[in-house]
A and B are shown apart, each in its own frame.
Chain A
């Protein structure tokens, strides 16, 4: 691997598919095919699988995933193509000529059953003792194909040791079906590349660099592999037993913060379609489970905007007015997967990372200081849980530097999936819960904090505040309804310029100790960019290294996960582009329904700067509690 040099992760097999023509109206652009004697017309290059879907025919799949390049390895999706001796994998077969397809012949059904029976013969474990029970693609197919015995046997001993070295991702390769979705995710989607097929023949297995435990390689803990694994071979490191224990311990004061993305997705675990926000139902459910207080992470998202925005203004002021050497563009730091990625791959750019902690960790530090004092509780008795869409948050809260309150700032990171299970275990049907509000003293937060969940959201929240600070105008006067559309949507990389012009406003009180006026920004153009998925982050970083367009940006939002947090590694499975779109939609419409949509207008934020962080943003105390530092890590080994 080292010899590959350069910054690229090893590439996975190139997806050798035929490109679809942009214009299907050209001659040959559409091909007519016959599926089970039904004729349909499809664009050239459509796969048989896609064509069948169009024709309303379901083909079973296992290695295929909408987010990933074609693999064609499980062979469950085979169909007959007239004139071809062998069956064809429908997920991998691009249609380039008129063909006749049959999807349910005796040969096809037999082959599919054989594939399943073979997989099950090597599959260790029983479904009733498995966290994917009821949500497993292998189990689902076995049921669908009426597998009622192990024709070719069934292993009774695990073939691999469980790797639970990582705070975030547990690997149980005895349950792996070698679909390589995780490999393609890690290499293509994330360009991290810590997972690879190793050995061949019957010894083939998915392993890590030099077969080291996951904690010792450059895994960024994003959990994207978990979200795409069809079985229980990959799962998050679940702390719910410890959380139950804390809840059951009368001496402990157990508080929980909920991030916006889990709220937008947890309904999926209770049978709702994607895109139903459950924020207030969740508050009630959490109290019924036994959490003593329920807080809204968006509060510290708002705080993040103030701290990170202030930091940006400081950097710009230093660079433009004082002519000091400062690291620009400033990078966001709220995605712990991204933070670990840059620590491994671009350690020379750590100064560009905002020193502001993520909302989760800011909240952790405030709960065990500000809140503890206010509520008169010994912070040693507080157990602080964070519900996050993310598996990397588990790693983040265990970073040794995250104890600025004098205690472990956040005790447990809990994923959406794990929380849903706890709620079910408590016998609660979430969608039926009455609605209730968050607890004081943090109360409700702004819509700006809410949209942190979708790619572009942090930037949008920041810009809403920055334009009001600098221009002295309402964000609504600049962007319709304060929605900053160019920063929304799922393009891998988004870019936007905001000209400041000659009309600047007065410096708001909060920032008066930092800058005398805005005259120095007159005529400037603020350049920002957004990337989600570390493969896209890599593109921007390489461009910056080469001195390209992005090196002229002032502020760049990076999220490790495709789609941002709504697509996080702790979110309900499955994940598809459509599901992520619906989750984002839920967040944006909730934001639009709120009165309060700008971080700096959040009265609780204003109050905390009056009562607690009295020296203002980026001051000494705020630096102690709300900011952090980063570490350089190796390129191949953690």
Chain B
């Protein structure tokens, strides 16, 4: 059901296998970086870091070895768009990696594949084999005697935090999946200390299009600050859940109409770590400059109890925190306890406010993005659904 797609005219536009690599090898690295910068492509994994900047830093680094890592951990609740890309458009993802390797001077690429996606491992390996046969991968790619590049696939360990790029690298190195201190960033000190590009599946899949059709073409889609299109994984209370390619700048209400959502009360944008948008703000647009997202859209209609929704998110974080830093490890437990207090009607507003303050500390003092974003739902749901939670169905008799 979730594989139902709406094809947009950027990522899902027509593409001939091998074209991107061929074009890339016919131009210089500088030309590639120029097109990339011109495209204004930003990372699709959530943080929205400009891809050209990331690649340029690694390209400029001097090192014995560099790496390209494709982040296919796709662990954010409610996201499944990377799965669709890997299953149906592997050429885009893998060619994006090859082009990255060529641009930054790497010979090795690694796909960190979500553990639950093990079932696609064989077909992906087969696809890589076919690329090797066609000389799109391996030694002297397309007869270019100066360019070798190969890709291996590694299965993830099943922890959400391993999608965070430095925890992912730790996991690849055989260590416990825990985020590293940053700076230094992976672009300087990545996989086994070497300069490393880590990109999301969707970011990489955009590359062959940008190289073949040009940065300017890409930039024409979307908004000024958010170029191109975005894949949205839509789930929840709607008629047509699935993966949608929509231009950046689409408003929430437009999206709700497209997917056939009715009586919508709230939309959680960005998964468990995202924010919850109430009806009154449905005119906001999905874009880096407004409501930024890695693509997870969860729709809740009038029958949903927002406190239960919040409780689910908090339970998720209590379990998925890697447990190394104090604000996230214990903070999430406290926030969950707060939700349970409200649920039972045994709470003081002053304490709930203290918890919101704690959430703000977690946002700034946690070591990695997981802890920094885990209070988002707590803060936005309690703020935006005050009435329902404290007076209505899910509410208690707060003193």
Contact = CB atoms under 8 A, between A and B. Distances in A.
A111 interface: yes
A178 B181 contact: no
Q: Is the interface of A mostly helix, strand, loop or mixed?
A: loop
Interface string A3-41: 010000011111011100000000000000000000000
A15 to B, nearest CB: 9
Contact of A203 (B173, B317, B323, B337): B323
A242 to B, nearest CB: 38
A212 B333 CA distance: 27
Interface in A166-181: 177-178, 180
Interface stretch (A90-98, A286-294, A337-345): A90-98
A96 B372 CA distance: 24
Interface in B167-181: 170, 173-176, 178, 180-181
Contacts of B331: 114, 118
B312 interface: no
A180 B358 contact: no
Interface string B190-231: 000100000000000000000000000000000000000000
Interface string A145-162: 000000111000000000
Interface in A38-95: 70-76, 78, 85-87, 89, 92-94
Interface stretch (A194-202, A267-275, A493-501): A194-202
A76 B366 CA distance: 10
Contact of A75 (B176, B321, B327): B327
A96 B183 CA distance: 9
Contact of A200 (B170, B322, B326, B330): B322
A184 B181 CA distance: 15
Contact of B372 (A14, A70, A86, A92): A86
Contacts of A380: none
Given A72-B181, A86-B372, A96-B183, A178 B324 contact: yes
Interface residues of A, number: 48
A110 interface: yes
Contact of A86 (B174, B333, B364): B364
A204 B358 contact: no
Interface string A258-270: 0000000000000
Contacts, number: 132
Interface string B289-324: 000000000000000000000000000011111111
A622 interface: no
Interface string A100-127: 0000000100110011001101100000
Contacts of A89: 181, 367
Nearest to B327: A75
B332 interface: yes
B176 A16 contact: no
Contacts of B317: 201
B334 interface: yes
A50 to B, nearest CB: 15
A74 B325 contact: yes
Contact of A114 (B161, B184, B327, B332): B327
A119 B176 CA distance: 22
Nearest to B363: A86
Contacts of A96: 183
A110 B181 CA distance: 22
Contacts of A11: 175
B393 interface: no
B189 interface: yes
A75 B320 contact: no
Contacts of A200: 159, 161, 319-323
Contacts of A10: 175
A591 B199 CA distance: 62
Contacts of A72: 181, 325, 367
Contact of B324 (A87, A122, A197, A202): A197
Contacts of B159: 200
B184 A16 contact: yes
Contact of A94 (B183, B324, B357, B364): B183
A196 B325 CA distance: 15
Contacts of B178: 13, 197
A473 B329 CA distance: 66
A85 B365 contact: no
Given A119-B326, A200-B322, A202-B318, A114 B180 contact: no
B277 to A, nearest CB: 21
A386 B177 CA distance: 44
Nearest to B321: A201
B161, B319, B354, B365: most-surrounded residue (chain A CB, <10 A):
B365
Contacts of B372: 86
Given A16-B189, A89-B181, A115-B326, A152 B358 contact: yes
B285 interface: no
B159 to A, nearest CB: 7
Contact of A115 (B161, B319, B354, B365): B365
Contacts of B334: 118, 121, 152
A114 B331 CA distance: 9
Nearest to B161: A200
A178 B287 CA distance: 39
A563 to B, nearest CB: 27
B250 interface: no
B361 interface: yes
B324 A204 contact: yes
The 6 closest A-B pairs by CB, nearest first: A204-B323, A92-B181, A118-B330, A111-B365, A72-B181, A114-B361
17 contacts: A18-B189, A75-B365, A78-B365, A86-B365, A87-B364, A111-B361, A114-B365, A115-B327, A118-B358, A152-B358, A153-B337, A197-B178, A200-B159, A200-B320, A201-B318, A201-B323, A202-B323
Given A75-B365, A197-B323, A201-B317, 16 more contacts: A4-B174, A13-B178, A13-B180, A72-B181, A75-B325, A75-B327, A86-B364, A94-B184, A114-B361, A115-B361, A201-B320, A201-B332, A202-B318, A203-B323, A204-B324, A204-B329
